[in-house]
């Protein structure tokens, strides 16, 4: 086999040269990483969550390290739509990597308005609709935890753009598959999951929460098994592509998500520890496929074997009876 594997994937109408994207909020507006990695090697770049007006986010402290992870309560600080177009877009337009804008609104009208404005920017490949931020009071998770509200917001966005829509789900629900089906019915082209898991860290000397916001969103390796479980659950319930996010630090982590059925992955917290993480992951996935003579990434997606344990167990039980 030649020294290359076909890593191409299509996620609901967006063609990617490989399945590795940056997770929103962990990669700024990409220019921050310009001198650290070759941005044109990425599958796609998802920029920091954008709202119509600029936002300062939450007051500090808003990040705290935890075992195998971190809590953040940034609160969706961002430059706002106008500055994004004037100051950030010119750089992004020059890249050959597809650019996806992550959006959030305080109400359905704001989501719709943002979608319609982004619809006019031809260099933008798609929109990721964040209905899952745990760190803002209005909007965000308020939409992502109720199937009906999730459906309404996605419909409003769908009505205002023809661009591919990826909808990002929160894990802070009892049954994520209900929300997944609801956004699929509302017109999502793909689903990304998971956003962060709500948590708290406490300083025992001051007896105060370590974050000014009290709660924050847990990310990093600590959440990977939960993210994997939710991706596996959702891929069985929807027909549209599912994008795996949560604790991916290495190519092996990414491969776990692909085997579970994810069509692609997003890398978040890893960027803050190792700015080269995305490239290492792309190279590691390709090396894995070449070593095992697997010509295409498609040949590994959704290949999780769940029957064998059961069958083996059944066989043993029969033998013992
Ligand atoms: C500092 C920080 C900022 C984030 N900002 C956003 C955001 O603006 N929009 C969004 O949808 N997700 C945001 N997220 C969530 C990540 O995109 C991702 O879903 C989550 O961190 C889990 O992936 P990870 O464990 O690889 O980091 C943020 C995460 C972190 C750590």
Q: Is residue 4 part of a domain?
A: no
Q: Is residue 149 part of a domain?
A: yes
In this prediction, residue 212 carries a pLDDT of 97
Q: Whose CA is nearest to atom 12 of ligand 1?
A: 24
**CA–centroid distance, residue 59 to ligand 1 (Å):** 18
Other beta carbons within 10 Å of 239? 6
The pLDDT tens digits for 65-111 are 999 999 999 998 999 999 999 999 999 999 999 999 999 999 999 99
Looking at the predicted structure, is the pLDDT value of residue 134 above 90? no
Give percent above pLDDT 90 in the chain. 90
Q: What is the mean pLDDT of the chain?
A: 94
Q: CA-CA distances (angstroms) from residue 92 to 130, 274, 294?
A: 20, 22, 33
The pLDDT tens digits for 160-195 are 999 999 999 999 999 999 999 999 999 999 999 999
| 151 assigned to active site | no
In this prediction, residue 231 carries a pLDDT of 98
Looking at the predicted structure, is the pLDDT value of residue 135 above 80? no
The pLDDT tens digits for 190-212 are 999 999 999 999 999 999 999 99
The β-bridge partners of 6 are 296
In this prediction, residue 309 carries a pLDDT of 64
In this prediction, residue 81 carries a pLDDT of 97
Q: CA-CA distances (angstroms) from residue 41 to 4, 8, 292, 315?
A: 15, 12, 23, 47
Mean pLDDT of 50-75: 96
The β-bridge partners of 50 are 103
Q: Is residue 211 part of a domain?
A: no
In this prediction, residue 321 carries a pLDDT of 57
Cα of first residue to Cα of last residue in the chain, in angstroms, is: 48
Per-residue confidence band for 3, with pLDDT thresholds at 50, 70 and 90 = confident
Mean pLDDT of 43-64: 96
Q: Is residue 295 part of a domain?
A: yes
- For Cα atoms 222, 47, 157, give the angle at the middle one, nearest 5 degrees: 100
CATH of the domain at 153: 3.20.20.70
- Contact call for residues 132 and 77 (beta carbons, < 8 A): no
Q: What is the 3-state secondary structure of the chain?
A: CCCCCECCEEECCEEECCCEEECCCCCCCCHHHCCCCCHHHCCEEECCCECCCCECCCCCCCEEEECCEEEECCCCCECCHHHHHHHHHHHHHCCCCCEEEEECCCCHHHHHHHHHHHHCCCCEEEEEEECCCCCCCCCCHHHHCCHHHHHHHHHHHHHHCCCCEEEECCCCCCCHHHHHHHHHHCCCCEEEECCCEEEECEECCCCEECCCCCEEEEECHHHHHHHHHHHHHHHCCCCCCEEEECCCCCHHHHHHHHHHCCCEEEECCHHHHCCCHHHHHHHHHHHHHHHCCCCEHHHCCCCCCCHHHHHHHHHHHHHHC
Per-residue confidence band for 142, with pLDDT thresholds at 50, 70 and 90 = confident
* Residue 184 main-chain phi, psi, to 5 deg: -65, -45
Tell me if 126 is assigned to a ligand binding site: no
Per-residue confidence band for 307, with pLDDT thresholds at 50, 70 and 90 = confident
Residues 6+ apart with CB under 8 A from 189: 11, 12, 13, 126, 164, 165, 166, 240, 241
In this prediction, residue 194 carries a pLDDT of 98
Q: Is residue 47 part of a domain?
A: yes
**CA–centroid distance, residue 210 to ligand 1 (Å):** 19
Catalytic residue among 5, 103, 133, 264: 133
In this prediction, residue 132 carries a pLDDT of 83
Can you tell me which residue has the tokens 């600590």?
222
The pLDDT tens digits for 223-261 are 999 999 999 999 999 999 999 999 999 999 999 999 999
Domain count, the chain: 1
Looking at the predicted structure, is the pLDDT value of residue 137 above 90? no
In this prediction, residue 104 carries a pLDDT of 94
Global pTM value: 0.95
Tell me if 106 is assigned to a ligand binding site: no
**CA–centroid distance, residue 29 to ligand 1 (Å):** 13
In this prediction, residue 237 carries a pLDDT of 98
- Nearest atom within ligand 1 for CA of residue 132: 11
Q: Is residue 209 part of a domain?
A: no
In this prediction, residue 256 carries a pLDDT of 98
Mean pLDDT of 29-56: 97
Mean pLDDT of 33-50: 98
In this prediction, residue 2 carries a pLDDT of 66
Q: Could you tell me the residue range of the domain that residue 234 belongs to?
A: 9-57+75-204+218-320
Other beta carbons within 10 Å of 263? 24
The β-bridge partners of 219 are 70
Q: Is residue 64 part of a domain?
A: no
């Amino acid at each position: 086999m030649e020294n290359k594997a076909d890593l191409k994937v299509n996620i609901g109408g967006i063609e990617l040269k490989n399945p590795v994207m940056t997770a929103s909020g962990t990669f700024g507006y990409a220019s921050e990483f310009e001198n650290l990695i070759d941005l044109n090697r990425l599958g796609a770049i998802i920029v920091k969550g954008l709202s119509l007006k600029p936002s300062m986010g939450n007051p500090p402290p808003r990040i705290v390290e935890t075992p195998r992870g971190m809590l953040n309560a940034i609160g969706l600080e961002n430059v706002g739509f106008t500055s994004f177009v004037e100051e950030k877009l010119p750089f992004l337009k020059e890249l050959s990597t597809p650019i996806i804008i992550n959006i959030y609104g305080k109400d359905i009208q704001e989501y719709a308005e943002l979608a319609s404005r982004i619809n006019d920017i031809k260099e933008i490949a798609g929109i990721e609709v964040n209905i899952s931020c745990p760190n803002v009071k209005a909007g965000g998770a308020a939409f992502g935890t109720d199937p009906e509200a999730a459906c309404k917001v996605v419909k409003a966005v769908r009505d205002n753009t023809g661009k591919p829509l990826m909808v990002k789900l929160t894990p802070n629900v009892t049954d994520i598959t209900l929300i997944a089906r609801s956004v699929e019915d509302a017109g999502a082209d793909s689903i990304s999951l998971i956003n962060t898991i709500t948590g708290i860290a406490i300083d025992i000397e001051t007896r105060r929460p370590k974050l000014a916001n009290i709660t924050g969103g847990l990310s990093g390796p600590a959440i990977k098994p939960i993210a994997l479980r939710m991706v596996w659950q959702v891929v069985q319930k929807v027909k549209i592509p599912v994008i795996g996010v949560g604790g991916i630090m290495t190519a092996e982590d990414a491969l776990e998500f692909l085997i579970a059925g994810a069509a692609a992955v997003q890398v978040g917290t890893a960027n803050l520890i190792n700015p080269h993480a995305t490239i290492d992951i792309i190279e590691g996935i390709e090396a894995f496929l070449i070593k095992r003579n697997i010509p295409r990434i498609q040949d590994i997606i959704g290949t999780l074997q769940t029957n064998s344990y059961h069958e083996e167990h059944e066989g043993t039980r029969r033998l013992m009876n």
